């Protein structure tokens, strides 16, 4: 599957590269094609027009190529990651927390709200600060019949 890996960057040591690298390695070990923002030419952008261009490139990849988006812990505290999740949700592209996808594959519960509010399927979510997810099989999206 073609996966976009989303997570916080700004304000983190080395733009969160270590966390992105670990996530990408785990996904690639499961034969996924992974787009990692920190591996892209704009991955070092910190301010201004460079950040806009990097986000535009990332959103373009999600819109044109992604079959899924996977979020790293802390994603809901990142404006960029929230924008990426919102774009995926608007396009009906599934969004999974990394730990859930690694444990349960595509059957894992999806992130259903851009802000990350709701109940989590993971028993250790509070301790690990994982994104909050709702539902699982048969869950309805807000505003959907």
d(CA 120, CA 108): 11
Q: Which long-range contacts (CB under 8 A, 24 or more apart) does 27-33 make?
A: 27/3, 27/70, 27/98, 27/101, 27/102, 30/102, 32/1, 32/2, 32/3, 33/1, 33/2, 33/3
CATH class of 2-128: alpha beta
Which tops the pLDDT comparison, 133 or 25? 25
Judge whether residue 115 has pLDDT over 80: no
Distance, in Å, from the CA atom of 109 to the CA atom of 17, rounded to the nearest integer, reads: 26
Output the average pLDDT for the chain.
80
Model confidence at 45, in pLDDT bands (50, 70, 90)? low
Predicted TM-score (pTM) of the model is: 0.75
Contact 23, 81 (CB under 8 A): no
Is residue 143 scored above 60 in pLDDT?
no
Pairing of strands 68-71, 33-35: unpaired
Q: Assess whether pLDDT exceeds 80 at residue 119.
A: no
Indicate the pLDDT class of residue 123, thresholds 50, 70 and 90: very low
pLDDT band at 127 (very low <50, low <70, confident <90, very high): very low
The yes-or-no verdict on residue 140 having pLDDT over 50 is no
Q: In this model, does residue 145 exceed pLDDT 50? A: no
Task: Please give the pLDDT value at position 121.
Answer: 40
pLDDT at residue 25 greater than cutoff 90: yes
* Edge-first strand listing for the sheet containing 95-97: 33-35, 2-6, 68-71, 95-97
Q: How does residue 124 score in pLDDT terms, banded at 50, 70 and 90? A: very low
């Amino acid at each position: 599957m073609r996966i976009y890996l989303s997570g916080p960057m700004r304000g983190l040591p080395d733009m969160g590269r270590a966390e992105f690298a670990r996530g990408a390695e785990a996904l690639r070990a499961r034969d996924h094609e992974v787009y990692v923002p920190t591996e892209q030419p704009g991955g070092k952008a910190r301010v201004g027009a460079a950040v806009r261009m990097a986000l535009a490139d990332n959103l373009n990849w999600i819109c044109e190529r992604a079959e899924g988006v996977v979020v790293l812990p802390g994603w809901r505290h990142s404006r960029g990651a929230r924008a990426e999740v919102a774009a995926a949700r608007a396009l009906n592209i599934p969004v999974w927390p990394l730990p859930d996808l690694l444990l349960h594959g595509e059957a894992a519960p999806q992130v259903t709200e851009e802000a990350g509010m709701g109940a989590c399927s993971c028993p250790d979510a509070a301790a690990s600060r994982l994104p909050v997810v709702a539902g699982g099989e048969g869950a309805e999206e807000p505003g959907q019949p």
